[in-house]
Amino acid sequence: MTSADSGEASLPPSAWLLTREFLLRFTGAVLQILATFEVIRALSPSVAGIYFEGFILAYGLAALLRGKYEMYTAHYIVGRNAAAVGISDWTLTCVFARRTLIRGAISCGVLLVLTADLDIQEPQTRPYLETFLPFVLAVPAAALALFTAAALRAANRSLGSILVSAYALNVVLIVAAQFAPEDDALLTLSWAFLAGSLLAAGIGWWIVRRVLRGPEASGNPRPDAWGEVFAGVGSHQLNGLALAALQWGPLGVLALVGPSVDIAEFAVAARTAQIVEIMFPGMLFVPGGLLFQPLLMSGVRRTRLRLLANTGASIAAASTWVAALLVVAPTLFHEYGGPYVSLGGLFTILLAMQWVSCAGRPSIRYLTAHWSPERIRTALGLSAGVAILICVLGAPLYGSYGAAVAALLGALMLNGQAIVGAARIARSVS
């Protein structure tokens, strides 16, 4: 997809590169569906809910740990600050990846001490602790994998982020489900989550190294460069917490107040709806990447018009995949079977959330470079607050539907503010 933050023209990619990217994205989408199917085939709905509770624990905690580093890295890379500050994108990513790992390891150690204490005091919780041990151990790897995926998105390498998030874990789950014993499938898939997280972290680091490392990595930073960087990271502390609350708050509330079956239903519908996020840039690649993108890059120079063109392209691409998923959804959920057959309404709500997030993607990227941390904090805080409040009120009454509506409203608030804010800034600089 074209960049919304730059006025520079770029050469269109070759037809082969665009086709390869489309096929890789499509493969990632297929793996996502197959992994979801294998998990719910191996586990009953109530047991699948326990598995996804562990998933929420690992990824939610990972989001809290990496939040401020992820947001500052995105601002730094999108804003092209390396030349001015003297610290390359690669060096910055290395430092923050190491800090993310350290924070993850400390959190993992604390959780292990707490669970060991519970195991001694409450022996009846042993099955619960055995189930969640792999998810606790996976926290550092999950945090690193998601951090590298965010860095790749900031570098406009969204395919790399898809390879990290949609390949490693899903492939390991698919393989593990084939060999999981029927009476111990939950524990097998839990340890498969740990293995998949480790693999994802390794793949993410390998791709980031290839993408970001370059000759500029040996540049000389200004004397006050690192002080400026860590001051900037500190200004994003609350932003990172708000982002994690927006992304995982509704699911966390549902995990606390809802039955495990509701958690499984939400997870299955959400993982299926994420196909839009995986595939929507692909509509711009074949044939859009060969026809529309060169026309856009050569014919539109004003920042505001470029932003509008990017937003329109994202809306068109997202709408295409939303329509495609709505057509195939009845067949998919029929194949899922059991209580998942009747998830059409829940799926539609989460599909709408994906559409909103895709439509606002160019504006979010634009504001990453142009908005102050205070403005970002306000937008994220309001959106996260509304989402969690709606979920606290709605989840006890409506279960997974209450959490889905909360997530949709949070996405609407954030992306609505981003689109309006980006349009105002773009109008002033055009």
pLDDT (tens digit per residue) in 4-23 = 343 333 445 566 677 788 88
Is pLDDT of 413 > 50? yes
Is pLDDT of 300 > 50? no
0.95 surpassed by pTM: no
In this structure, are 203 and 304 located in the same domain? no
Give mean pLDDT, residues 184-194: 92
Give the ranges where 43-124 is alpha helix by DSSP (H): 45-78, 82-85, 89-121
Q: Which two tokens stand for residue 340?
A: 């998942």
**Which are the contacts of 396, defined by CB distance < 8 A and separation ≥ 6?**
257, 258, 402
Please check whether residue 30 lies inside any domain of the structure: no
pLDDT in tens, 131-145: 788 999 999 999 999
Please check whether residue 24 lies inside any domain of the structure: no
Q: Which two tokens stand for residue 127?
A: 């099955």
In this structure, are 140 and 283 located in the same domain? no
From first CA to last CA, the distance across the chain in angstroms is 21
pLDDT of 58? 92
In this structure, are 218 and 250 located in the same domain? no
Please check whether residue 25 lies inside any domain of the structure: no
In this structure, are 278 and 372 located in the same domain? yes
Give the CA radius of gyration of the chain. 21
Q: Which residue among 208, 235, 262 closes a domain?
A: 235
Is pLDDT of 294 > 60? no
Q: Does residue 82 contact residue 76 with C-beta atoms inside 8 Å? A: yes
Q: Which two tokens stand for residue 80?
A: 């092209």
Q: Is the peptide bond before 181 cis (omega within 30 degrees of 0)?
A: no
In this structure, are 245 and 275 located in the same domain? yes
**d(Cα 422, Cα 360) in Å, to the nearest integer?**
10
In this structure, are 208 and 229 located in the same domain? yes
Please check whether residue 13 lies inside any domain of the structure: no
In this structure, are 151 and 268 located in the same domain? no
Q: Which residue among 207, 235, 263 closes a domain?
A: 235
In this structure, are 199 and 269 located in the same domain? no
pLDDT of 404? 96
Q: Which two tokens stand for residue 321?
A: 């995949």
Please check whether residue 31 lies inside any domain of the structure: no
Which secondary-structure segment (H or E) carries 2? Answer: none
As for how many domains the chain has, the answer is 2
pLDDT of 147? 95
The one-letter code for the residue type at 331 is T
pLDDT in tens, 198-218: 999 999 999 999 998 865 544
The one-letter code for the residue type at 109 is G
* C-alpha distance from residue 97 to each of 67, 71, 140, 277 (Å): 12, 13, 10, 25
Is pLDDT of 352 > 90? yes
Q: How confident is the model at residue 284 (pLDDT cuts 50, 70, 90)?
A: low
In this structure, are 333 and 276 located in the same domain? yes
**Which are the contacts of 85, defined by CB distance < 8 A and separation ≥ 6?**
76, 221, 222, 225, 228, 229
Please check whether residue 52 lies inside any domain of the structure: yes
Q: How confident is the model at residue 425 (pLDDT cuts 50, 70, 90)?
A: confident
- At residue 219, φ and ψ (nearest 5 deg) are -65, 165
What percent of the chain is modeled with pLDDT above 70? 85
In this structure, are 244 and 212 located in the same domain? no
Q: Which residue among 212, 235, 258 closes a domain?
A: 235
Domain limits for position 273 = 236-430
Please check whether residue 225 lies inside any domain of the structure: yes
Q: Which two tokens stand for residue 404?
A: 């889905």
Please check whether residue 27 lies inside any domain of the structure: no
In this structure, are 222 and 260 located in the same domain? no
In this structure, are 225 and 306 located in the same domain? no
